[in-house]
Structure 1
């Protein structure tokens, strides 16, 4: 039985909502690392908070909280590609780079996702969609001019920040090609959060990066909790969108993350940008509108 066609306008609305929430996590990450917390400790608690939030949500909505043994490998894959690996690098880069720059780097997701999708056969080449990706890329190039960095030495941390988008691009294409193995998006993220926390705990302890919650709570602690809850919500929606609209369209969420991330950074962190930023964001939005979702028919 083929899935019903969802109007493209609805998918775009979902994309905007996901991107706005995800964009807020960028300045929150900057706040979380502002007092010296290390990546693995932050990742462990992010996964624990996310797992607890999803556990309660699934109980309230009457959904299963079981973790099938034959799906543990899939939960592990999603945990590694979606959180542990990318966030290990992203938190490290966030400690050195402005939040707005981190939001810019997220826009590399579709640049990686498009060739990966072609190689994996999850999408077809289309000049209009390529044009949309190019428009977004030009916007990012304008936004990432050297003067965007307060200190030229920060350029050394850009390759570290790029690892995150590369992981997301691979993850999106894996889900698009092989699906979610009969599980819902919320179930996948819940399982990945639980398995990821189990994996992250010994890593955090062994590296000396574990964070003891019995401390005085200030902005970093509250930012971590808020970011974790937001991440759980938007990431569930993102996985769902990938399964419906395809990895290349879903990857356009990075453009919305860029725009909203810059705005959130200006609001919360008082970061300032030139008029070139708004020109770049305009191109990014054009790129997003040119890349239309494909209708993906699946058998139930």
Structure 2
């Protein structure tokens, strides 16, 4: 991997890891619905503007139904679940729980397409679930009713991501990824619109410049710019190497939580996190391949 690709990968992980930080800041102020509506509508505007500048088509009229579905499954539902859970969970724990997405994607593929689960993947799912138990059980967070619900919502968001991944593969086979990203955000904004009016209750006394900046950062940096980096990496280094961002997002989620929000990380949380990553590693089917030549060796 070239230096600029490595920097792009780390930048993507840092941005997606920061999304949990921004949600943790904005959600208690604006509420989950308004926070996520701000995220998707601003990101949609930025991505559509980029499409216009680069003279690429969205084909929204032709695929509006599919965009609504993927917008619900891959943005509106999981984003809102995460924002709701962030009312009670630290950003670091939310980012760790989010790393369960590949595990539940494998389960969705098994149920939806009847694709056989390999022993490696089955072990990966079991290991990942054990990691969640360790993460929750050894956390310093009081295991109250609200926290239990928040953890459940965070896990449900990863299931929604898993369903979205399988659906996208079937419904958007020949759609340019950037068009899919923009259409997804538009679809999510439309889905959330009626709920936005019902939840427009943010108090002007609570609203602060920090909370507004958090929503802007969430939309522009963690969504619009992050998607541009993601698709650049897909084209430059391929999907397999880009998948390694899954391992880095929780790392940055923990770093931002500790540095910015002064969150406390226990050894139990770190151990649970490592166990989950082991499960993700098994699910992802990543293998080290060594290619030797007279001039160099690549891993």
TM-score normalised per structure 1: 0.77
In 2, Cα distance between equivalents of 1:162 and 1:152: 17
Secondary structure at the counterpart of residue 271 of structure 1? coil
**Structure 2 gap segments, 5+ residues each:** 288-299
**RMSD, aligned α-carbons:** 3.7
In 2, Cα distance between equivalents of 1:29 and 1:289: 27
CA contact under 8 A between 1:132 and 1:286: conserved in structure 2? yes
Corresponding position of 2:293: none
Residues 163/287 of structure 1: CA separation in 2 closer, same or farther (3 Å cut): closer
Residues 161/17 of structure 1: CA separation in 2 closer, same or farther (3 Å cut): same
Residues 283/216 of structure 1: CA separation in 2 closer, same or farther (3 Å cut): closer
Counterpart of 2:23 (choices 16, 26, 29) is: 29
- Whether 1:169 aligns to 2:167 is no
CA contact under 8 A between 1:32 and 1:224: conserved in structure 2? yes
Corresponding position of 2:182: 190
CA contact under 8 A between 1:104 and 1:144: conserved in structure 2? no
- Whether 1:51 aligns to 2:56 is no
Residues 64/163 of structure 1: CA separation in 2 closer, same or farther (3 Å cut): same
1:73 Cα offset (Å):
0.7
Residues 166/13 of structure 1: CA separation in 2 closer, same or farther (3 Å cut): farther
CA contact under 8 A between 2:130 and 2:275: conserved in structure 1? yes
1:270 Cα offset (Å):
0.7
Deviation by residue 1:208-243 (Cα, 9 ceiling, x = unmatched): 327699x96511110111111212343566689999
1:95 Cα offset (Å):
1.0
Corresponding position of 1:156: 149
In 2, Cα distance between equivalents of 1:277 and 1:166: 22
In 2, Cα distance between equivalents of 1:69 and 1:47: 19
TM-score normalised per structure 2: 0.77
Counterpart of 1:128 (choices 96, 116, 120) is: 120
CA contact under 8 A between 2:60 and 2:183: conserved in structure 1? no
In 2, Cα distance between equivalents of 1:142 and 1:257: 19
Secondary structure at the counterpart of residue 28 of structure 2? coil
Residues 129/56 of structure 1: CA separation in 2 closer, same or farther (3 Å cut): same
In 2, Cα distance between equivalents of 1:96 and 1:55: 34
Counterpart of 2:260 (choices 254, 260, 268) is: 268
CA contact under 8 A between 1:55 and 1:65: conserved in structure 2? no
Aligned length: 280
CA contact under 8 A between 2:13 and 2:249: conserved in structure 1? yes
Deviation by residue 1:31-71 (Cα, 9 ceiling, x = unmatched): 01232x122222222112101211232233x2324434220
CA contact under 8 A between 1:89 and 1:163: conserved in structure 2? yes
Counterpart of 1:99 (choices 91, 96, 116) is: 91
1:249 Cα offset (Å):
10
- Whether 1:144 aligns to 2:132 is no
1:251 Cα offset (Å):
7.8
Corresponding position of 2:294: none
CA contact under 8 A between 1:117 and 1:248: conserved in structure 2? no
Corresponding position of 2:275: 283
CA contact under 8 A between 1:118 and 1:124: conserved in structure 2? yes
CA contact under 8 A between 2:100 and 2:280: conserved in structure 1? no
1:143 Cα offset (Å):
2.1
